[in-house]
Structure 1
Amino acid sequence: MKNFKTGLVAAAVLALAAGSASAQSSVQVQGLLDVYAGSIRMAGDGASTSTLGSGGMTTSWWGVKGSEDLGAGLKANFALTSFLQVNSGLPGRFPGDTFFARDANVGLSGSFGSLALGRNLAPNFLPTIIFNPFGDSFTFSPLVLHANVPLFNGTNWGATTPSDTGWSNELLYTTPNYNGLSANVHYQLANSSSSAHNVGINALYFNGPFAATAFYERDQLNNPVVSQFSTKDVKKDWMVGASYDFKVVKLFGTYGKAESDDAALPSAKTLSLGASAPLGAGSLMAAWAKTKLSTGEDRKTASFGYDYFLSKQTDLYAALMRDEITGASSGTSFGVGIRKRF
């Protein structure tokens, strides 16, 4: 009987401790669903494709994020988030994408900044999506398309970003914010006997209506499935950008270069310009990007759109895009869609 009572007391103490711990922790289910209907024809495509697609303005995703207050300003954080295709219900951004390709990390944060280990952002991602009016649209943003979306239609046009927008096996350190300035230092391991690795840094500065950014990365590894580049070369990518909000219009501009130590691969220089202007409960958007290869070919893409917010969580959008590549047929795309955040 004594042992039974002792067990009950121990169980009660554990239950109270668990309740106290859970009160200091938070876990949230989050996500965004984006689906659009339209017609897509990129430069070099033989014909237009009628599409009901996922991710017109933002790649759809869902998952859980959480933090635990450890006291003295220290927190433990985690994130497990996955991309998905709303039109089909398939996981990932494309066939073969890892399940938690968006986030799979755990770490600590405090007055020193934050340190996260696992799969996380690459150095190129935040500067690219923040400094163009179409944000993280992998369908209609000229800058994002040139940087991250290769074409498989015979034009042999590749992405300028060397190794995805997220890195696996990554250590990511984020500095504290110093009067609007913060930086992220990225290091990716191969997790093999190879000494190959990816390394990079970005900086973000926000001061009232003015914002600026820069990033640099030096890559030897593919992502999201980690392997060394087949040519064993080293690829480098950098970009600088700025924006200024005049209230009636916000202007964006970026310039960057991608190159490889493999002489057979051309270098690429990309210039992008953009503007957004408030109109009613939404905003008008216009963006243009030009990428010129060292071999002489170039690609020009221009997009126009309107994004209308029904609420803070739900918006409707429409976009029109023109895509041109030297020596290839031009393409015109359009789409109307809806985004729902939760």
Structure 2
Amino acid sequence: MDKLHLLLVFIYFLPGCFAFVDPISMGVVVGTAATSAMIMLAEISGLYSIRCKTNLMECCNEHHIKPNMTGLQHDLSTKLYGQHLVEQTVYRAVKHHLYNPNPSKALVMSFHGWTGSGKNYVAQMIVKNLYVNNLQSSFVHVFNAEVDFKHQHKVGIYKDQLQSWLHGNVSKCGRSIFIFDETDHMPMGLVDSLKPYMGNEPLIHGVDYRKTIFIFLSNTGGKEINKKCYDTWQKGNSRRDIKLSDMEEVLEQVAFNEKSGLKNSGVVEKNLIDHFVPFFPLERDHVESCVMDEVRRLNARRLTSGQMQEIMDELQWMPKTVRLYSKSGCKKIAQKVGLVVLD
């Protein structure tokens, strides 16, 4: 685009450069230059289009951003276990945002739950069903608080860097996605640098952020989610009876009050997070489904009941008295299956 701008500027100022030339000669020069410039513009534009269509470069258009809501719904319903609220909320929220040509604000979701419950997995599903280049897309930006924002005393520097990063990348593509992993370890105050970009402002320094997606991943609230599931189980009720409205207010309060990147943040206080999404702890049948997925991925022979039990015994369960939930969810499944398959 810089070359295009230079050409246009050249054409605009060209007559002034030849003020000393007679009108007829100047007309010939200007006409020839303008024609050449238009040819160059057409060639550049055509080359740009070809490179986009042939994947020689990634472009912010339908060739590289292809929302596949059927694919996302399928992935959530067949590859994610024990998370009916996640399945419903994420699918509807993403679909509504992507199919709205003029969303009122950026989509902001905060995923909460115990380790291994699927928060990263779901974020990857969204990316996979939106960008042709998947996680390798230049429009996908993943931050890990423990790697990228390690020091509380540098929060001021991080704020400037993050805002500059947002401006530069959303300027290139409004349909960008920003994923913040380990938000519970993010320095306090940093998340508020994102606040201006999550509201209803149509333009900030000439850039529209309302088509952007922000996702926070956090273990904060895991205890409260697990307690709700356990209390429901003790009453003899199904976890599927738990509604999103039963959890969102709890998660919002925990996020705002507990020590984490969202503590006392304006992002929470100003209701800029659209959905607090709870990820439930995984029970035995959910974990067994993860085991079978890994067996299929390895093209291994079907496990015997003894081998399945061996894998289950290798995992830690909570509460210890009833061994109801996997302490690590499905996070260690690949390693445990690998040991049994190799054996």
TM-score, normalised with respect to structure 2: 0.25
If each structure's helix is expressed as a fraction of its own residues, which one has the higher value? 2
For the pair shown, the structure with the greater C-alpha radius of gyration is 2
TM-score by length of 1: 0.25
- Structure ranking higher on relative contact order (CA contacts 8 Å, 6+ apart): 2
